[in-house]
Structure 1
Amino acid sequence: MNYWLMKSEPEAFSIDDLAQRPEQTEHWDGVRNYQARNMMRDEMRLGDQVLFYHSNCKPPGIVGIAQVLREGYPDFTAFDPRDKHFDEKSDPQQPRWFMVDVQLVRKLKRLISLEELRLHEQLEGMKILQRGNRLSITPVSRAHWEFILGLEGENSV
């Protein structure tokens, strides 16, 4: 099993939006970065666990857990000229962009903020904490995953 952190701006798609979808499941579309695309297409597997992270908000942080319910498949939003994620260079015969389906496992008892994550040397090397990292999807080590979930019961910073 692999572990991931997936960022979403809550104004665009929040953990509450995922909770309201049928079967609390939704496709993770609109990723337009090749490195993140490759992870979804080539590395994410059914049952992989996901830290759902709210970004570009105050405060940013981890708000829930999801799981991969469907492995990578072509992102159909790239083919629709009316969709905000349309890519005129993407071809259904040779898709450029991929997505996965995720299902909510649970919301966290509390937000674990980026500021709080930065306080723990045990999380050194975690991609979300690296300066300049703007990827919307990053791998998470099992040790980091377990440490972060251990923070959930602690008082927030």
Structure 2
Amino acid sequence: MPHWLMKSEPEELSIHDLQRLGHARWDGVRNYQARNFVRSMAVGDLFFFYHSSCPEPGIAGVGRIIASAYPDPTALDPQSHYYDAKASLEKNPWSALDVEFVEAFPHVIALATLRELPALSELPLVKKGSRLSVMPVSASEWAAVLAV
């Protein structure tokens, strides 16, 4: 089963929000490579929930994909900061999917800690200049994070 890492700003959706809600729509991905990863996810796939753009960025827990990708409705909503004026009902290039809460870690695994793990040296997250919001995680990378 593939594993993933997905980033969210905690004020937008945090692991604790997902825990409280149980499930949520994951939307707003506006990078084509990340969008393609979203489209390749399958129901049941697990992902690390990464808090980004916050005082303590890092992996905060685990979620599960519960619905395959579908057109992202935020691209069509002029009130959304994810609005895309070029998107239409007939041609929406962006995708969303539904996720559910699995586990919140007792402490966020900080980006600095992740960068120190040799097993993660090829993970785009730990490379300078990588801003990808969705990325695959290999089985060995998954295990290394869970071992922290």
Bin the TM-score by the shorter chain.
over 0.9
Tell me the amino acid that sits aligned with residue 42 of structure 2. R
Q: Which residue of 1 aligns with 2:113?
A: 116
Distance 2:88 2:32 in 1: 16
Cross-structure match for 1:39: 37
The two structures have a TM-score, normalised by structure 1, of: 0.90
Partner of 1:4: 4
Partners of 1:31 and 1:19 lie apart in 2 by 21
TM-score relative to the length of structure 2 = 0.96
Aligned match of 1:67 in 64, 67, 75? 64
User: Runs of 5+ in structure 1 lacking a partner?
Assistant: 152-157
Give, in angstroms, the shift of residue 109 of structure 1: 2.3
The whole-number CA distance in structure 1 between the counterparts of 2:27 and 2:42 is 16
**CA shift digits 1:72-125 (9 cap, x unpaired):** 100011111122211111011121110111101010122111111111112210
Mapped to 1, the partners of 2:63 and 2:53 lie a distance apart of 20
Residue type at the aligned position of 2:108: L
Percent identity (aligned): 43
Task: Name which of 89, 93, 96 aligns with 2:90.
Answer: 93
Q: How many residues align?
A: 148
Q: Which runs of 5+ in 2 are unaligned?
A: none
| Deviation >6 Å, runs of 4+ | none
SS for the counterpart of 1:12 is coil
Which residue identity is paired with 1:19?
Answer: Q
Partner of 1:14: 14
Does the residue aligned with 1:109 lie in a helix, a strand or coil? strand
Task: Report Cα offsets for 1:15-44 as digits up to 9, x if no partner.
Answer: 1111121xx111111111111111112x11
What's the CA shift for 1:146? 0.9
Question: Counterpart of 1:131?
Answer: 128
Alignment partners' CA distance in 1, 2:92 and 2:117: 40
